[in-house]
Structures are given as C-alpha cells and as structure tokens.
Chains A and B, each alone.
Chain A
Amino acid sequence: NAGVTQTPKFRVLKTGQSMTLLCAQDMNHEYMYWYRQDPGMGLRLIHYSVGEGTTAKGEVPDGYNVSRLKKQNFLLGLESAAPSQTSVYFCASSRWDRWNTEAFFGQGTRLTVV
C-alpha cells in the first residue's frame, strides 16, 4: 500500500530558483493538503484542495502556488525560492466524511534554500 507519496525527499535550491513538489495518493481521497513544518511551530497549512480542479489558501500561502489537475495528484510550486522557505514539507490526504476526516501523511520533503 503506497498511501501518500512525495517527490523528491530532499532538495537544495539557490535563492530565486523555482521547483515543484509532487504529491500522489492512491486512496481515492477527495481532500489533499500541503503543510510546512518548522521547529517549534508545528505544522502550518499552506494550501489545500477539496477536489480535482479546486484549490484554496491555508494559513501561510504566500510564495507558493498549487494545482490539482488530477484527483490523485497535488503539486506545490515555489516560483522564486527564498531562505525563509527552508522547511520540511508534508503532503496529506483525507476522504470526505462528515464523521471522520482523518488525514494520512506522506514521508516529507526536506527543502533547503541557500
């Protein structure tokens, strides 16, 4: 069972470079999320999607863009990376269920911007 898979696992960028992080889930979940994790700050929601073709902003969306062209994939883009975007990024997915919206997480992408 693959679950939620993130690509790549590690990346080093120079300031100003761009990159795309890919998240793929095989659980047929409607909802997908991108979080960043920084020391002492827990996980903060960047963007999320409630279905194919839809995206919405979370707590900390600035400097990021997302796309959900296929239900199983959720892409996170950095157009011009900044050192403040050095973080560990987690993708998650959940099904639509009024009673249980448990999220399942990918293994994370450690991004360093120099």
Chain B
Amino acid sequence: ELKVEQNPLFLSMQEGKNYTIYCNYSTTSDRLYWYRQDPGKSLESLFVLLSNGAVKQEGRLMASLDTKARLSTLHITAAVHDLSATYFCAVDYTGNQFYFGTGTSLTVIP
C-alpha cells in the first residue's frame, strides 16, 4: 500500500526558531514535491525535488530528498509569521499520479 506520512501534523513555533518537517514515503520514487496551502486557498508549489540528494532553498525554507531512506525534509530557518500555513509533501510514484501526505499545519507565534 502506498503511504506518505508527514510529521508533525501540527507545529507551533516561536518566531526566530528553527524546525524541520519530515515526509516519509513507502515506495521508491525519485520525484517529490512540497506545496504550501493558506487557509481557504489553493495549493502553491514550493519545491520540486527530482533526484537523490536534491536540495532546494527559497528564503527561510530548504527542502531535501533522500531516496534511499525514502525521506524528504522541509527545514524552516528563523521562522516568521508569514510562514504560517499548511505544508504538504507529495510523491509521484508512477509518473503523474501524486500521493499526498496529511499535511503539517504550521503556526508561527510572535
């Protein structure tokens, strides 16, 4: 059974702190995507990771992919309130079928 698991599901962190969101998946894939969703809004693409060892950075967010461990991480550096949102990872197993994690709801507290 194909599974994509994220943890934590909920994350409350203070501004200025660092934290990592984890995305584990059950079946080999070398294509993983991170999305952001604001309340009541659609999903916005953040990162596209297409090979083992891929690392992408945008502002205070950095994503990495370890296909051997079937693990991706989304690292948040010096969090700010604007990063409050729900973050999803999605794995493409078969070529254009995306399986999503349950999401991590992030709240950054002043």
Contacts and interface: CB of A to CB of B under 8 A. Distances in A.
A41 interface: yes
B45 A58 contact: no
Interface stretch (A17-25, A62-70, A71-79, A98-106): A98-106
Interface residues of A, number: 28
Contact of B96 (A40, A94, A104): A94
A93 B20 CA distance: 29
A58 B90 CA distance: 15
Contacts of B35: 105
Interface residues of B, number: 23
Nearest to A95: B96
Interface in A21-72: 31, 33, 35, 40-45, 48, 50, 58-59
Contacts of A94: 96
A31 B96 contact: yes
Given A43-B88, A99-B50, A105 B102 contact: no
B48 A100 contact: yes
Nearest to A98: B95
A107 B96 contact: no
A108 B92 CA distance: 21
Interface string B73-110: 00000000000000010101001111111110000000
Contact of A42 (B31, B50, B95, B102): B102
Q: Which 5 A-B pairs have the closest CB atoms?
A: A43-B100, A42-B100, A42-B102, A105-B43, A31-B96
Interface of B: 4, 9, 31, 33, 35, 41-43, 45, 48, 50, 88, 90, 92, 95-103
13 contacts: A31-B96, A42-B100, A42-B102, A42-B103, A43-B43, A43-B100, A45-B97, A100-B50, A103-B45, A104-B45, A107-B42, A108-B41, A108-B42
Interface of A: 31, 33, 35, 40-45, 48, 50, 58-59, 90, 92, 94, 96, 98-108
